[in-house]
Amino acid sequence: MAVVLVLSAGSIQQVSAQMSMPSAGTKDSMMENAVITHARLDQFEGRTSGSENEFSWDGEGWIGTDMNKLWVKSEGFSDNSKLSDGDHEALYDRPIPRLRYFDAQVGVRADLDSGPHRAWAALGIEGLAPGYFEIAPTLYIRDRGNVAGRIVASYDLLLTQRWIAQPEAELNFYSKDDPGRQIGSGLSDLDAGLRLRYELSRKFAPYIGFAYDGRYGNTASYSRHAGETTNGSQFVFGLRIWY
Amino acid sequence: MRREEKDSGQTRIMSRRRFVQGMAAGAGFTAYQWIGRSVLGEIVPSKPAVLTGAHFDLTIDSITVNFTGRPSRATAVNGSTPGPVLRWREGDTVTISLANRLKHATSIHWHGVRVPADMDGVPGLSFDGIPPGETFEYRFPVRQSGTYWYHSHSGFQEQTGLIGALIIDPRDHDPIEFDREYVVLLSDWTDANPETIFRNLKAQSDYYNYHRLTLPNFISASKKDGFGSTVSQRLAWARMNMSPTDISDVTGAAYTYLLNGHAPNANWTGLFHAGERIRLRFINGSSMTFFDVRVPGLKMTVVQADGNDVEPVTVDEFRIGIAETYDVIVQPQDEAAYAIFAQSEDRSGFARGTLAPRMGITAAVPPMGPFPMRTMADMGMGNMKGMKMGDMKGMDMSGMAGMNMPGMTTTQKNMPKSTKPAAASQNIAAMKMDRSDMPGMELGRDTATTPLPQPGPDATPIMPMSGMADTEARLTSSNAVHLHVGPQVDNVAMEASERLNEPGDGLTGNGRRVLAYGDLRARYRGVDGRPPTRDIELHLSGNMERYIWGFNGKKFADAEPIELKLGERVRFVLINDTMMEHPIHLHGLWSELENGHGEFNPYKHTVIVKPAERLTYLVTADTPGQWAYHCHFAFHMDAGMFCTVVVKP
């Protein structure tokens, strides 16, 4: 965490240094510092285990230049008009000096769904680890010493130029129990999936796959207490869409 | 000598044709026929014409075109894309009145033409650009001859069609003999908005690459080369998060490749009689595509490169980088059709035309070659494992023929044979240059403070004043560059090597004689015999994943201008740290490629630097002003690979 803080402090200095640079020449006709937008729904899917059905989404978008971006991330589940695991983040993003493929991100996370709401400060990095792994570990902090962590990782395995298998996993950790949201301390849950998509175009890819949902420790206890299962796999089908 | 009479006789045969591109849509279809000089005199609306003379009225407008079967908008000159062929004559002073009917500012840059800095057409450097509804008048003396081209330097107008051929006839007779000539302007057309392409590349840099490595590739490679070696090769790339399939950023997935504004199915055709010497003036006017060009069944004799005559060299194939030009002579002996076949470097498509004795005959279009792969040599890892045999062969060859470690032996080679100061010959040189439009040149000075002439039969070199030892001592590298990886730099070549005698990735071992830069030997001695006084080292850098490009790890916004003193002669040392070729274009001044031919090093305006290559050229800063210096990949330039060269009096 300290490392991340130092990095973001360094980036802010660089921002101000860049702003004081005189503008030169033909810049207005160039795109190099153009503000670019990108949005992507990686998961926009129905999940079914035969007896239970739910809908889930996981998307992200950004707007900005090479060196300064605003990121928005959102994910959640919906089942019979109840929203759960709703997680929405707004982050300032900046490439980390001396690293080729990683960005530092700092901002806020809001847990907004049918349960009690929570707000967190968020600090993380996101990028491409050697071997073409997308990885994003993030640390969250809120009042009274509540700390949470999340790691999201994925990999694109090309079966052909258009058939792509994507293993993906998300792990969540919490420092303290939060009975209101049925979350226990320690490793609380894992959401893993294997999705096979067909890229009709880069921007439009239907997919099918399996998802595994597991809850652990006190989180599992909360689930059992509420009469829910603590783990299970589901068949998923959905769309991966870009803007 | 040209035989003009014969040409004009032929013109009539080439009446207007209707092209069917084999696409479903018929409505709104517009086709452009463009047959080089031979269509001169025909009046067909919205057909690119050949304009000659000393005064030109050009209008930039937006038009509807249909190259793909769907109507799309293009940026046109005088109602056509490509724009009209402009034909100037060396020695004339030309005026071009350029009217802008677009909703955006526009500009035209005369690529490779040595003009005063304010006539160079780069918004922000030469002038402010031409606002909508306004007219700008270009006016400058033409002091050179050869095949060039023009294009917009505003936004992505080059990609949307604002390109055209520019032919400058020599003042006297043309030393290149031919019976007939055609312009062959290659380009890449997309119906997509170029800004969308740029955005897609920023979001996913391999968006247009449909040759990425797959699991089946891995299995077949394992069977062929063994599991262990395939795994270790894949890991070597994976460690860097790079891909050996990174050949072209924008591919046939987005592009339809055009030849003189004709899609492959529209089959542009040039007529000939058997036995004629046909001069084909190839121009790569594309935004993002290198082409590998051949005319199956015919040898091509390269006689000019980037507007400068070279000693004839006969090849089967050549690679033409963006903005380069090559003039070749072909001489078909049969009354048969021949395909002009220009496949994109990544083999995702091709431009195609036909040379035929009469209309309607076509030649078989050859299949595209295999998709090339980058090797560890392209990453600057030298002779490490994973390198292909083809590249090793290339390197051996370069060791034999090139032999010019820039900064060491080349200086010597560039020195005139006579080492004595020779004040007399110097005076003669200066006087001769005076005669060739060089007012203000002081006799006896060994500087170049007014534009030097293009090398030619009548141009005489300036001689160096001082002895060699002296100049060697003065030669300093003005800036040692130490790059490190970061957001702007994904790789620093550990071992950059000379690759002048390699034709390029995908062109080795195909059984054909392919042109390499080492083959280019100027027909005329260079006009500035002085050795350079300093080296300017520039790393071509980038981060493919982020799609950021630059010089020395800096984008244009962060880069300081390169300052040259008027009259000084310097050496540019380019080191390509990236995995791709970059066609580097210096505006306003010649780039004298140091390819081992000494005084006969070729003059170029655009120089391809291969992956992990170290390449040098000499520049005489003989025209003051601010000049653009950039990669001619349109999207690389716009992603930051651009800087300013300032020549200060």
What is the DSSP track for B153-186? Answer: -STTTTTTT-EEEEEEE-SS--SS--SEEEEEEE
Question: Is 60 exceeded by the pLDDT of residue A239?
Answer: yes
Q: Cα dist. A227→A178, A186, A190 in Å?
A: 18, 21, 19
Question: Is 60 exceeded by the pLDDT of residue B47?
Answer: no
Q: Measured between beta carbons, which residues in chain A are less than 8 angstroms from residue B124?
A: 25-29
In whole angstroms, give the CA distance from residue B612 to residue B598. Answer: 24
Q: Taking the mean position of all CA atoms in its chain, how far away is CA B305?
A: 9
Provide the β-strand partners of residue B149: B111, B165
For residues B84-92, give the mean pLDDT: 97
For residues B543-555, give the mean pLDDT: 96
- Say whether residue B241 is in contact with chain A using an 8 A CB cutoff: yes
The confidence band for B461, taking pLDDT boundaries of 50, 70 and 90, is: confident
The confidence band for A33, taking pLDDT boundaries of 50, 70 and 90, is: confident
If 0-12 CB within 10 Å is exposed, 13-18 middle and 19+ buried, where does residue B338 land?
buried
In whole angstroms, give the CA distance from residue B320 to residue B632. Answer: 12
Flag the least confident range among B35-44, B275-284, B429-438: B35-44
- Contact, B126 vs B304, CB < 8 A? no
CA distance A64 to chain B (A): 11
Q: What is the mean pLDDT of chain B?
A: 84
Residue B458, pLDDT score: 85
Residue B48, pLDDT score: 59
Share of chain B above pLDDT 70, in %: 80
Q: Measured between beta carbons, which residues in chain A are less than 8 angstroms from residue B203?
A: 36, 38, 40, 242
Q: Measured between beta carbons, which residues in chain B are less than 8 angstroms from residue A205?
A: none
- Tell me if A95 and B486 make a contact (CB, 8 A cut-off): yes
Question: Is 90 exceeded by the pLDDT of residue A172?
Answer: yes
- Say whether residue A132 is in contact with chain B using an 8 A CB cutoff: yes
- Tell me if B546 and A95 make a contact (CB, 8 A cut-off): yes
Q: Measured between beta carbons, which residues in chain B are less than 8 angstroms from residue A202?
A: 200, 204, 207
Give CA torsion, residues B508, B511, B512, B515, to 10 deg: 20
Question: Is 50 exceeded by the pLDDT of residue B89?
Answer: yes
Residue A25, pLDDT score: 41
The confidence band for B349, taking pLDDT boundaries of 50, 70 and 90, is: very high
Question: Is 80 exceeded by the pLDDT of residue B263?
Answer: yes
- Contact, B599 vs B364, CB < 8 A? no
Residue the block writes with tokens 């000084």 = B568
Residues 6+ apart with CB under 8 A from B432: B458, B459, B460
Read off the tokens for B551: 């010089």
Task: Identify which has the larger pLDDT, B437 or B257.
Answer: B257
The confidence band for A72, taking pLDDT boundaries of 50, 70 and 90, is: very high
For residues B289-309, give the mean pLDDT: 98
The packing angle between helices B227-240 and B215-225, to 10°, is: 130
Question: Is 80 exceeded by the pLDDT of residue B447?
Answer: no
Read off the tokens for B395: 């390197």
Edge-to-edge strands of the sheet including B291-294?
Answer: B268-271, B350-356, B338-344, B291-294, B317-320
The confidence band for B464, taking pLDDT boundaries of 50, 70 and 90, is: low
Residue B463, pLDDT score: 72
Q: Cα dist. A13→A9, A32, B478 in Å?
A: 7, 21, 30
Identify the closest residue of chain B to A65 by CA–CA distance.
B202
Read off the tokens for B444: 């006896």
The confidence band for B460, taking pLDDT boundaries of 50, 70 and 90, is: confident
Question: Is 60 exceeded by the pLDDT of residue B437?
Answer: no
Question: Is 90 exceeded by the pLDDT of residue B462?
Answer: no
Strands B268-271 and B317-320: unpaired
DSSP structure string for B615-641 = EEEEEE--S-EEEEEEESSHHHHHTT-
Helices (H), B380-527: 389-401, 410-414, 423-435, 468-474
Share of chain A above pLDDT 70, in %: 88
How much is the pTM?
0.86
Give the number of A-B residue pairs with CB atoms closer than 8 Å: 121
- Say whether residue A36 is in contact with chain B using an 8 A CB cutoff: yes
Question: Is 60 exceeded by the pLDDT of residue A11?
Answer: no
- Tell me if A130 and B241 make a contact (CB, 8 A cut-off): yes
3-state secondary structure of B228: helix
Question: Is 50 exceeded by the pLDDT of residue B402?
Answer: no
CA diameter of chain A = 67
- Say whether residue B279 is in contact with chain A using an 8 A CB cutoff: no
Provide the strand spans (E) within chain A: 36-48, 53-64, 69-79, 82-95, 102-111, 118-129, 133-142, 146-154, 157-158, 163-174, 186-198, 204-215, 231-242
Residue B449, pLDDT score: 84
For residues A142-166, give the mean pLDDT: 96
- Tell me if B238 and A32 make a contact (CB, 8 A cut-off): no
Residue B108, pLDDT score: 98
If 0-12 CB within 10 Å is exposed, 13-18 middle and 19+ buried, where does residue A110 land?
middle
- Say whether residue A17 is in contact with chain B using an 8 A CB cutoff: no
Residues 6+ apart with CB under 8 A from A146: A120, A174, A175, A176, A178
In whole angstroms, give the CA distance from residue B304 to residue B183. Answer: 13
The confidence band for B297, taking pLDDT boundaries of 50, 70 and 90, is: very high
Question: Is 90 exceeded by the pLDDT of residue B471?
Answer: no
DSSP state of B129: -
Q: How many CA atoms lie within 13 A of B18 on its CB side?
A: 4
Q: Which of B158, B149, B151 is nearest to B194 (CA)?
A: B158
If 0-12 CB within 10 Å is exposed, 13-18 middle and 19+ buried, where does residue B41 land?
exposed
What do you get for the CA distance between the two ends of chain A, in Å?
A: 33
For residues B7-36, give the mean pLDDT: 31
In whole angstroms, give the CA distance from residue B31 to residue B16. Answer: 11
Question: Is 60 exceeded by the pLDDT of residue A178?
Answer: yes
- Say whether residue A96 is in contact with chain B using an 8 A CB cutoff: yes
**What's the Rg (C-alpha) of chain A?**
20
The confidence band for B385, taking pLDDT boundaries of 50, 70 and 90, is: very low
- Tell me if B123 and A159 make a contact (CB, 8 A cut-off): no
Q: Which of B575, B574, B576, B580 is nearest to B544 (CA)?
A: B580
- Contact, B80 vs B68, CB < 8 A? no
The confidence band for B442, taking pLDDT boundaries of 50, 70 and 90, is: very low
Residue in B207, B487, B556 closest to A30 by CB: B556
Residue B465, pLDDT score: 52
What do you get for the CA distance between the two ends of chain B, in Å?
A: 42
Residue B469, pLDDT score: 40
- Tell me if A100 and B124 make a contact (CB, 8 A cut-off): no
Q: Measured between beta carbons, which residues in chain B are less than 8 angstroms from residue A196?
A: none
- Tell me if B124 and A25 make a contact (CB, 8 A cut-off): yes
Q: Which of B460, B591, B482 is nearest to B527 (CA)?
A: B460
